[in-house]
Amino acid sequence: MSQRVGLPSGAPRVTIGRSARVEDLDATTALLERAFLEGRPESVRSMYERFSPLVFTIALRSLGSVVDAEDVTQQVFVAAWRGRATFDLARAPLQAWLVGITRNIVADTHARRAREGRAAAAARTGAVEQVADGSAQVVDQVVVAQAIEDLGDPQRTIIRMAFFDELTHVEIADRVGLPLGTVKSHIRRSLGRLRTRLEVTDVPS
């Protein structure tokens, strides 16, 4: 599994040998938890080295995809660092807290898959269901899905993140590696193109 999460370079590491005793592991965990609570950046590297195999295994078993499991693993440690103020050692140890974040992100990934599956199913069956009750809604779904597909990247990816994944502009900018202003410009222009496309589609023949 590739380690794709961005971690501080040259930071000291907390390493655990195979022959480490239980009390050594407990002491190492206590040091790591304290460093994380203090907001020390080097703690993220140690957390990743210590717990990423567990996070990856949970994600892989649930999602059945190495690529998705790697993405989830990256998201978990980014989310943990950003949300470190919510970590309360009195409520749960660090490992249990990370497992909770993992479960939430895995659930979000399943929900995204379901949304994408419904959109794909609507695109495949829309032409047949035009004669059925509710056909107008199906046609709208097909038209919108095709219009988004025609945008091309990065606009297509950004619009999907904004409306299907319900990410904020800041989160999208982080995901695609573009400046926030550029992401906003892509969304604004894409919405204009979609509006024009849909208005043309609605013109009676």
Show the low-confidence residues of the chain (pLDDT under 70): 1-26, 122-147, 194, 196-205
The pTM of this model reads 0.49
Identify which of 106, 96, 190 has the alpha carbon closest to the alpha carbon of residue 149: 190
pLDDT of residue 93: 87
pLDDT of residue 170: 87
pLDDT of residue 124: 63
> Would you say 48 and 80 are in contact if contact means Cβ atoms under 8 Å apart?
no
pLDDT of residue 73: 94
pLDDT of residue 72: 93
pLDDT of residue 71: 93
pLDDT of residue 204: 43
Q: Which domains does the chain have, with CATH numbers?
A: 1-114 (1.10.1740.10)
Q: How far is CA 123 from CA 135, 144, 190, in A?
A: 12, 9, 20
Q: How far is CA 87 from CA 27, 33, 101, 157, 171, in A?
A: 19, 10, 11, 32, 21
Kind and range of the H or E run holding 190: helix 180-201
- For residue 24, the SS3 value is helix
**Rounded-to-integer distance, Cα 197 and Cα 147, Å:** 7
**Rounded-to-integer distance, Cα 42 and Cα 32, Å:** 9
pLDDT of residue 177: 85
> Would you say 75 and 41 are in contact if contact means Cβ atoms under 8 Å apart?
no
Please give the torsion angle defined by the CA atoms of residues 183, 188, 194 and 196, in that order, rounded to the nearest 10 degrees: -150
Identify which of 10, 80, 20 has the alpha carbon closest to the alpha carbon of residue 52: 80
